[in-house]
Amino acid sequence: MFRAGDQDTLKNLKGQLAEKEFKLGELESRVRNLFDEANELEEKLRIANRNARVLEEENSNFHLKLRAIERNEDTSKCVASQMEAMKLIKENEDLRASLVDAKERFKDAAGQSREHDCDTDRKIRALNSECERMRKERDRESKELESTRFQCAELQKKVNDEHEMLKAARDLWDQERERYQQRIDELLEYSRSAVRSAVPRSPRPKGGANDEPLEQILLREDVAQLEKKLKEVQQKSWEKEKEWIRTENELRKKMQLLQLEDGSAGRNDKALFQAMKDQIRALQDEINTLRNDKLASHSAALGASAAINKASATAITQLPYDNRAANWAARYDAVCKEKEAVQDQLDAAKATILALQNVADEKSISCKELEVRIAALQRKEANGVRSSTAGKPASIRSVGEQGVNSPTATSSSAADAARTISQLRQRVRDLEGEMRSLENTHEQRVAMDNVRTKEYQKQVDELLSENEALRNANGATFSAAESVPLTESMDGVARLTKDKRESVEEVMRLLEFAWDGDEEARRLLRRAKYQSASMAGQDAARDDEIRRLQKIVGDLENQLRDTEKKGNDVDELKDAVSGLRTHIHSLQAENNELRKKNGDLEKSRDRVVKNLGEKEKDADHRNEKLQKEIEDMKRRLADARRPSSRKISPAESPRTPRIIARRRTLDVSTMSQLSVRSTEEQRRSAVPEGAHLAFTVVELAGVLRNGRPIAEPGYVVIKLKSIKEKYKTSVKELSSVIRFDETFVFYLAQPDQDVITVHVFYQTKNGSREYYVGDACFSMATLFRGVPRQRIAPIVQNPGTKDARRAGQIEVNLQTDDFGKTTEPTEEEVVEEKTRFDELVNRFERSEVEKLHAADVYMASGQW
């Protein structure tokens, strides 16, 4: 039951953990989205800066328009950019709105994160309380199990004590039986010596038929003593039975109380209570069998005494007196011969009875030996059970206290108990085999005794029939010999009949003693068989109890392992929750940093707006100045157009700005012919002298030499140059990916024609010589003003030749704020440009390797 509950709790914990991981994934995705939004805001701020530069360019357009007005030229080409300015204002408003939405979403995400933390803490507290409850329940169950085992041990001890007392009573009975047997043998010897003596017997009086013999009186006294002892033992057994019944009732009350206290614990310990009930039933059966054996022995003793009385009565009553016998002298000799024959038969019967008694004694001795062995085995088994029951609660306490160390002791004690039980089972099997062999031998001997007893009975019947025939013959001859005096032969006849009667009584008594001994032997055999069966049942019950206890111990160990596993899971969950809290704290710190960055961006935007306002003021001031100059120039033109003034050649004013674009030949650079700017673009991107380019070397990866990785450790340096300037990066140690993150500013006179060339060199650690690795060329002709461009281009060994090959890969960023296109590229245009560049690199690497180093320049030329 507890295991099913633990599995459900574990499933709930797994579900809660999956839910937490899902929520954490959602939070991470939200934070990632916030980062993306912050990047978008940064990009939009960069666009705002670009728009500010666009406004500055529009101001320059106004200057051009004023100059065109001064020259009376067509101003249709000079298109005002108020629409673009409105567009920029609208974009700024959208940016502010998106920033407010981002702040609201961040607040919502922070609130949800706090709620999630509260729910997680509440669930963890609930799990801790559940674990504490399960631990208390486990301790309570272990205590109940220990108390129950202690009670079982006490009951077993009581049963063993009762067995010892019964054994002592049985030994006492055996001693009494031997003493009575000895007295009976003495009486028989006395009677036998009395028969053989030649002392004349006095005639029995008439009233002597009702007198009882001495043997019968003694036997009655012995029977009375036996009945008294039997009553005493029966009274003791009834008192013990009452005590057992009272103990049984107390155990049942305790079981009911345990079941009422906790239904789940009662259901869980149902097997234990059932085993206790089985033990109680076994005790009841043993008590009933003991009571039946005592009643049977008592009834057998009473039956034996009644049979003795009946035999004595019949022997006394069967005294045929025939006063009409004749010719006693002749018949006396025949009767003496017959008496000698009967005496011989009686001696043979006595010898047979003695042999049977010897066999019965041997059987009783073997039964006693078996009983001694069984008692020794029971005592040994009881000691083993006490030691196991005394050791098992300690092992259970060690399991409850120490956790993992108890299974070793429990397994060792269980192995010892199993070994002892196997030895006891083998011994019981051997004893059962001996009992079966003894039973077979006893059955054979009983069959022989029955045959002999039937023969003796047949002989006795023949003797009785002969005696009857002799009586009849004496009656017939008595009428013929009336002249013979009766008193002469009365003494001889009386002696003869008395001797014959005594001999018959002695034979019957011996037969009865033999039958009693046989019955006693059978009773002892039945008792031994019952004891062996009860021992086998007790062994089976003990085996079941040991298996059940081992199973309970295994279940408890499994429960402990499950509880420890749950504790480990709880610890892992706590660690995960602490990790989540740390991650949340880090996310909150990052969010704070983002807020700080947003504040800095807002401040920079405010500064940019302020600068724009100042620039607008400066532009208005310059416009006013220009307006004054225009008015001055108009006044001068009006003065010049007067008739008195001379004509002025229409030469171009030296103040008129002129766009100078110098062309470079192939001798200067191999890439100067790839100028890709149109006249309109050159006009729009015209900048004063001193335009600058920010060139950032991000990283260098996969450095090769002659197509193979460089195995020898060393250093790498990158050199950059334009037409007029040269730079060099710091020296970095050679690795698979070399991180630089170094920015260089180039001042360009003609940015639409200049090319930045990158040279990579390698130097070993032990030498000072630099080995050339490869080149790469980059153009800035198609840059967008204020928009950085990322390029991941190959480093080419032997550039411009057919032997050119890839020698590495470099990542650079190009950015300018002074020249380039003034429009903003869309995301689709950026992706398309990267795709075109990658396709061009792949194409050059497959077919035209001599152009691979200048893929960016060829792409800027628009020829590919």
**C-alpha distance from residue 114 to each of 77, 212, 581, 586 (Å):** 60, 112, 10, 14
Measured distance CA(601)–CA(596) in Å, rounded:
8
Instruction: Classify residue 737 by its DSSP letter.
Output: E
3-state SS class at 185: helix
Asked whether the predicted pLDDT for residue 810 surpasses 90, the reply is yes
pLDDT in tens, 406-435: 444 445 655 666 676 677 667 667 766 766
pTM of the model as a whole: 0.28
Closest CA to 475 of 340, 206, 467, 504: 467
Q: How confident is the model at residue 125 (pLDDT cuts 50, 70, 90)?
A: confident
User: For the chain, how big is the Rg over CA atoms in Å?
Assistant: 64
Note the pLDDT tens digit of each residue in 555-581. 887 888 888 888 788 888 888 787 778
- Average pLDDT estimate for 17-34: 79
- Which residue ranges does the chain devote to CATH 2.60.40.150? 681-861
pLDDT value of residue 641: 66
Q: What share of the chain is helix, strand, coil (3-state, %, to 5)?
A: 75, 10, 15
**What average pLDDT does range 372-378 have in this prediction?**
72
Position 659 scores a pLDDT of 30
> CA 368 to CA 366: how far, in whole Å?
5
Sorted by sequence, the CB contacts under 8 Å of residue 535 that are 6+ apart come out as: 374, 377, 378, 428
CATH of 681-861, one of 2.40.110.20, 3.40.630.10, 2.60.40.150, 3.40.50.300: 2.60.40.150
Three-class secondary structure assignment of 514-547: HHHHHHHHHHHHHHHHHHHHHHHHHHHHHHHHHH
Cα maximum dimension of the chain: 233
Least confident residue range of 152-161, 482-491, 521-530, 712-721: 482-491
Q: Give ∠ CA 798-799-802 in degrees, rounded to 5.
A: 75
Give mean pLDDT, residues 111-122: 81
Residues 825, 689: contact at Cβ < 8 Å? no
* Buried-state track 640-655, b at ≥16 Cβ within 10 A, e below 16: eeeeeeeeeeeeeeee
pLDDT digits over 771-808, tens only? 899 999 998 888 888 888 889 999 999 898 888 999 99
Tokens of 99: 């920033």
Of 330-344, 648-662, 721-735, the range with the lowest mean pLDDT is 648-662
- Please tell me which of 92-96, 333-337, 705-709 the model is most confident about, judged by mean pLDDT: 705-709
Contact call for residues 78 and 61 (beta carbons, < 8 A): yes
Note the pLDDT of residue 742: 92
Using one digit for the tens of pLDDT, what is the confidence trace for 426-467? 766 776 676 677 667 767 766 776 776 676 667 667 766 766
**pLDDT confidence bin for 666, thresholds 50/70/90:** very low
pLDDT exceeds cutoff 50 at 194: yes
